[in-house]
Amino acid sequence: MKEKQTHSITLESTCKITDEICLPDTKLPRVVIVGGGFAGLALVEKLKHKEVQVVLLDKNNFHQFQPLLYQVATSALEPDSIVFPFRKQINGYKNVLFRLAEVEKIQPDSNTILTNKGSVSYDYLVLATGTTTNFFGMDSMAENSLGMKDIRDSLNIRHMMLQNLEQAAITCDDDERDALTNFVIVGGGPAGVEMAGALAEFCKYILPKDYPEYPASIMNIYLIEAIDELLSTMSDKASSKTLKYLEDLNVKVLLNEAVSNYDGKEVTTKSDKTILAKNLIWTAGVKGQFPNGIDGKHVVRGNRIKTNANLKVEGYENIFAIGDIAALISKETPKGHPQVAQTAIQQGKYLGDSILNIINNKSIKPFKYKDKGSLATVGKRKAVADLGKFKFAGYFAWLLWSVVHLMSISGFRNRLMVGFNWAVSYFTYEKSNRLIIRNFKPKSSVKNRTK
CA dist 438 and 91 (Å) reads: 32
The answer, yes or no, to whether residue 433 has pLDDT greater than 90, is: no
The answer, yes or no, to whether residue 9 has pLDDT greater than 70, is: no
What is the average pLDDT score of the chain?
A: 91
Tell which residue, 3, 30, 1, 35, has the closest CA to residue 18: 3
CA dist 84 and 340 (Å) reads: 19
Confirm if 435 and 158 have CB atoms less than 8 A apart: no
Which run of H or E residues covers position 391? strand 390-393
Which amino acid appears at position 350 of this protein? Y
The answer, yes or no, to whether residue 168 has pLDDT greater than 80, is: yes
Tell me the pLDDT band of 420, cut-offs 50, 70 and 90. Answer: confident
CA dist 223 and 216 (Å) reads: 18
Taking only the tens place, the pLDDT of each residue in 289-325 is 999 999 999 999 999 999 999 999 999 999 999 999 9
CB 268: neighbour CB atoms within 10 A?
15
pLDDT at 44: 98
SS (H, E, C) 187-232: CCCHHHHHHHHHHHHHHHHHHHHHCCCCCHHHCEEEEECCCCCCCC
In this prediction the pTM is: 0.90
pLDDT at 446: 52
Taking only the tens place, the pLDDT of each residue in 314-362 is 999 999 999 999 999 999 999 999 999 999 999 999 999 999 999 999 9
Point out the residues that are catalytic. 194
CA dist 310 and 189 (Å) reads: 29
CA dist 67 and 85 (Å) reads: 17
